[in-house]
Amino acid sequence: MDGNKSALLMMGCPEVPVQMGIVLYLSNKLGKAGYDVTVAGTDAALKLLKVSDPDEHYVKKTMEIDQCIADIVEKKIDFDCCFAFMHSDAGMTYAATMSAISKAKMYAVIFGNNAEDVAETIEFPAEKIVAKAVHNPIPLKNKIDRAIP
């Protein structure tokens, strides 16, 4: 991946444990590759993030998810790539919205017990990174490393 670009990591509901670990891991990876990384999520997901990374070693910029969507629609911001995290229909729906409103290259990061079922519902253009991971982040980390060397 090239440096000097912007990336959005869009978190879904934070109830599945692997999400937070992978968001921190991917943010670190993209940051080292020169990406300007922003993480968007619900109020609860962002609180989890701030508690997990209090000194902002891995994540420097955060945004409330609906504000992020509003700002993209209003053309105040946009990103070169977007990693949409999802384990449910609602997460897929947010990702479909992002695909429609943003010019970002889309990556759908799909995890949880129903990962394969959720992946099948995706009809928008996106590179799918799928792993049936709930507590153990390694299968999802390995898939991410394969997709983004």
Partner 1 sequence: MSCIEQMKYKLYLERTSFKEAREYIEKNSDEIYYVEPGYKIFKDYYIIGVPPIALGAKGKELLFTYVKPCHGTFVMAIESEEEIQRLRDKEQEKVIVSLKKGRPSAEATPASYHDVWKK
Write out the binding residues for partner 1, residues 48-107 only, by CB under 8 A. 65-66, 69-70, 72-73, 88-94, 96-97, 100-101
Task: Note whether 12 and 94 are within 8 A (CB).
Answer: yes
Residues in CB range of 41: below 8 A, 6 or more apart: 10, 11, 12, 14, 49, 62, 64, 65
Q: Which residue, 56 or 89, is less far from partner 1 as judged by CB?
A: 89
Nearest to 31 by CA among 52, 6, 12, 64: 6
Least gap, CB of 6 to partner 1 (angstroms): 19
Q: Is 15 in the site for partner 1 (CB under 8 A)?
A: yes
* Chain contacts with partner 1 (rule: CB under 8 A): 12-15, 41-42, 44-45, 65-66, 69-70, 72-73, 88-94, 96-97, 100-101, 123-125
